[in-house]
Structure 1
């Protein structure tokens, strides 16, 4: 997974596409290592980047123009699948209508991960996202992730409480 992450990040950097690593790999960085089967990345793009994304990734990954266009028009995600390993990379578009998502993207930190500088979600924002996912019913894994990050990383609890209150997840926190 490490080599695939580095490959993807290098390509995003070359394309000058702003990104933030999130999901299970971010939990493993800020909390206790845990198993994950994919790589989750938030990106900020518009339709002008579609062709360059396809050109950059199509030799080593399955990539679909239709999925990218659907993500751009409907705000969903699209994925790449690495041909050699089968590792899936889920790309999520920054939701510009959600004030926390915009802030989360801007608060990303540059950290040395697997020997490479990578933009990663701040631990507080990762917790806020995980609390929101708990509302969606997948609470056990997300709560364990929250506990793991709280146990290992120093976080700004006032910031977390502020956003948890705004999104209606303070009682979970």
Structure 2
């Protein structure tokens, strides 16, 4: 994986862990871990944030990140997203507040810890499962009117690399709820 995104991610994970905030990494970092690696412009995390976390998180981020406390509070209150920028590298992280619905809860429970080596020692980082990574990628692909070749390559790459280890029953259970059954069938065929 690329060093800059991983270094920024490690800094964020240490903050989340210190504050007891559950999180998982998704997006292209997760699809690169489980599929075909590629460069990324940002880091995507899903965090199980509550309003009671906002002050502590804002304070912890203030040392090394640009983070707007009002934006964080609004995002947590509305279950939306906010971003933070690492002041050392100017690399951005998008943090999506977990929605608390059935799929989000199951996705968080299925997160997989991966040991990643960074300067200062290895850090354990929770990544979305390959199946949840695929489902998210398909949802984003659909929201983008199915035009992003990069998103589609990520999807097919994860299916190809993971192969028979994918929990297809899990994918088939959630794909109809998320409205991506057709994309799941297409990805399984193309891979």
TM-score class, shorter-chain normalisation, is: over 0.9
State the match for 1:160 in structure 2: 171
Deviation by residue 1:107-144 (Cα, 9 ceiling, x = unmatched): 11111233421111000011111111122125322221
Deviation by residue 1:51-71 (Cα, 9 ceiling, x = unmatched): 111111102110111111110
Alpha-carbon distance in 1 for matches of 2:30, 2:15: 19
Judging by fraction of residues, say which structure has more helix. 2
Deviation by residue 1:148-172 (Cα, 9 ceiling, x = unmatched): 1011122111211221122221111
Deviation by residue 1:88-123 (Cα, 9 ceiling, x = unmatched): 011111111x32122111111111233421111000
Deviation by residue 1:19-65 (Cα, 9 ceiling, x = unmatched): 10111111111111111011111101211111111111102110111
Equivalent residue runs for 1:33-112 within 5 Å: 33-96=37-100, 98-112=101-115
How much is the aligned-residue C-alpha RMSD, in angstroms? 1.3
CA contact (8 A) 2:34 2:130 kept: yes
Per the TM alignment, residue 75 of structure 1 is displaced from its structure 2 partner at its CA by 1.6
SS of the residue corresponding to residue 172 of structure 1 reads helix
Q: TM-score, length-normalised on structure 2?
A: 0.85
How many correspondences in the alignment? 172
CA contact (8 A) 2:51 2:77 kept: no
Q: Which runs of 5+ in 2 are unaligned?
A: 185-191
Q: TM-score, length-normalised on structure 1?
A: 0.93
